[in-house]
Amino acid sequence: MYSSRKRPVEELPEEITTIWSCSDESCKGWMRDNFAFSSDPACPICQSQMVKSEKMLVALVNTSPNSSKL
């Protein structure tokens, strides 16, 4: 964990999250691992195979859907 030198700005905390991303590089499809209902999910956009990956994402918390910074 890194707790030092945090800017005093209201930022949503991000964390490394396990995700599935589409194996097709031209496709932007991905999903959180939490949201994958299969151990071998298919891309919801193009039905390609998905590969496990990691991504810095805003931690999932039950606040207002105010996250338009992608």
Site string for Zn ion, 29-68 (x = CB under 5 A): x-------------x-xx-x--------------------
Provide, rounded to whole angstroms, the least separation between the CB of residue 51 and Zn ion.
Answer: 11
Provide, rounded to whole angstroms, the least separation between the CB of residue 27 and Zn ion.
Answer: 3
Q: How far apart are CA 16 and CA 1, in angstroms?
A: 11
Provide, rounded to whole angstroms, the least separation between the CB of residue 19 and Zn ion.
Answer: 13
- Name 45's Cβ contacts closer than 8 Å, sequence gap at least 6: 22, 27, 28, 29
